[in-house]
Structure 1
Amino acid sequence: MFFADFAAFVTASPSSYHAAAEVARRLEAAGFSRLAEHDAWPSGPGRRFVVRDGAVIAWVEPDGAGAVTPFRLLGAHTDSPGFKLKPNPSTSAAGLLQAGVEVYGGPLLNSWLDRELELAGRLVTRDGAEHLARTGPMLRIPQLAIHLDREIGQGLVLDKQTHTQPIWGAGDPGDVLDVLAADAGVATADIAGFDVLTAATTPPERFGRDGVFVASGRMDNLTSVYAGLVALLDAPTDAAHTSVLAAFDHEELGSESRSGASGPFLEDVLARIAAGRGADDEARRRAFAASWLVSSDAGHAVHPNYPEKHDPVNRPVLGGGPLLKLNANQRYASDAHGAALWHAVCERAGVAVQPFVSNNRIPCGSTIGPLAATRLGIRTVDVGAPLLSMHSARELAHLDDLRGLAAAIGAFFAG
């Protein structure tokens, strides 16, 4: 049941905009109320959410919440590496129709070759209305045959401009926007703007002995969005804190956008929740000082074919449990207090914890954790599910780690 529901969630979320819409759909089905940012918000207990572009923030305001009631937040992100459709995207060469795309984030380029891809995202029409669209399997980036480059086996080098443009048709000229417009039920001539990305269309699958492994696109970071959503749906309404799921967009680009973790979205929402309780500035700061943010993003398991790339002592494995992510240079926000919190909630959930720290020769990436902690001053710990093939069009996880992450976040919200 867990895998089937997770697979359905990922399949429904080929873009950050679709992911936010799927989170919203599931929240509404569970009785959460959708709020608009330009409206006045209700106060008092309730289960509510708001969507900003490809990001969504949802919360459970408990009975009896007061001005200094703290927050327990789960931060994640909805976007994944890939390719984004350029303006004037319809091109052709050698009798084939192509789509002009720009690299989005840091995908493993070779993993996108010879896969059936779709286009998915949002169209905005001239009247300002937003429409979600997805094409289904439609595109492919064909790899050059070895017969035409005998050195390719010694090391594949792809030019991001000339070697990554997918094909989607043959023969007479065509407009790729026609396909997206037809799915959205609008006229191509009415499209005034679009944010459309590629996604691999192969559905999530279980494989390996006893089906313990999960292969899927976009597990960085839909694993965390899904775990946070599952946990929030079960969050208690009588807790001593407000439970919050904050799923941001644009983490793969650095989070600097109005819907990213460096933007004002989360601070805006928390301030409005606090104001609804009658909190002044001092009370809100007191609430923040007593709050916790768990920043959940995918992390690295030890690769069996490249063991030298990992720390020689701290060696997390697939199936060993969620990660506690640590970095001396604060690329992750975890500290000793955060470690204690994460160990406590995992113990309560009956889940093992694995520390992750990078090999000193290989600098690690970062997450929304340090960004949100810097902006809000809320104590933060960085965690996540271990993966192999991170940033591939098809990543690899262990099913027990996905279940364990959801259970640990559930214990975190339970208090």
Structure 2
Amino acid sequence: MGWSRVTPCPETPPPSSGGLNRTGIRPTAMDVPPLAGKVAALSLGALPVSYALNHVSELSQCRHFTLVTWSLPESVLALTGWHGPHCWAWPPLLAFFLHSPLGVALMSVLILGLLFVAIYSLSRGDIYYDPLYAVFAVFAFTSVVDLLIALQEDGYMVGFMEFYTKEGDPYLRTAHGVFTCYWDGTVHYLLYLTMAGAIRKRKRYRNLGLYWLGSFIMSILVFLPGNILGKYSSEIRPAFFLTIPYVLVPCWAGMRIFNQPQVLTCCTKNMVQVEQKKGILQRPLDLALVIYLTLAGFFTLFRGLVVLDCPTDACFVYIYQYEPYLRDPVTYPKMQMLVYMFYVLPFYVLAVYALVFPGCSWLPDWSLVFAGAIGQAQFSHMGASMHLRTPFTYRVPEDTWACFFVCNLLYALGPHLLAFRCLQWPAFFTRPPRGSLVHHKKQH
């Protein structure tokens, strides 16, 4: 969805001219760039690395591992940190890195640092062209790690990341943490590969980048405060401070993505004027979106009041019979509803305004940002509400499961429909030239 559709322009040259228009810019169509094979190969290195570290961590706690030392000379044992052929102690340095929270954090920094050096050595030209290539490559590696954590916590695989979830980020073992890892290991991973592939092919990825930006920021706004304020606040480890770059990098990446040139469209002046003269009743799709955004706004406000302990009967019935997960002491659902109320609700109000009054050129970009944000949030919220790691008393009751699922699914799909409408038919949101506005006013 990140590549907007462009209608053919009369001035588009024939294919023999290389596909360039008169301005020397290649038109962008529904041209999804290939995935970055080099980034994919490096990211899959997370599999052997995590397995090896976890296996060594397990062996360090296994009594039988010391049998291999019986035939080693004392000089070799002394160099490796062993104090004798029958000593049961693990080498102090390895024990520090594998069995202490600070050591796990430092090891994570070391691995990511080595990964960055490898990426810089292999793709120096791509990084010079766009530094975000290195960011996407490193984050692709962490996405594979997150997917391994999620699969491990759900019992689909073993022997990969137990040491990290135990000593590094124990809150990733919560239901919300598991589904955040699933989203990062699938949706974000594909976005990283696609955007890195776009950079290698010198293609645009602005729309994909905006969707990723909203999704990434939403996960941070909910997960980090939830870790600090929830019941797992006492288990914060040094690895938590590795999230500081996760806060700073999106700010820098967001500025670079927003500063990229927008995708070219072929909306002529006449097309823009005709479309912007139509009232809301003449645009049934926009009218439906206005109705949806209004209802979604009330639903957002209602759930925000619910988590703020509003004493009304409707709030009491909803939190106990429809979404008891909002009472979970992990605090993630409460933070999610508050982020919705203070950030998403104002956007819905502004989006209604932009659908009624023409020329709001900011809506296509921000609709992509909020589509990514709400998509990630609803995936994590809906999944955690029904996951087995959520205590039974906080899960969605079976008799209200259908209502919960339909309401939350519609809440997730609406922003994506809004973004699709803005990208496919952008004429109404195009800012008309100043001269055409003056001429239009003189005629009326």
TM-score calculated relative to the size of structure 1: 0.30
Q: Which has the larger radius of gyration?
A: 2
Bigger share in helix? 2
RCO higher in 1 or 2 (8 Å CA, sep ≥ 6)? 1
TM-score calculated relative to the size of structure 2: 0.28
Bigger share in strand? 1
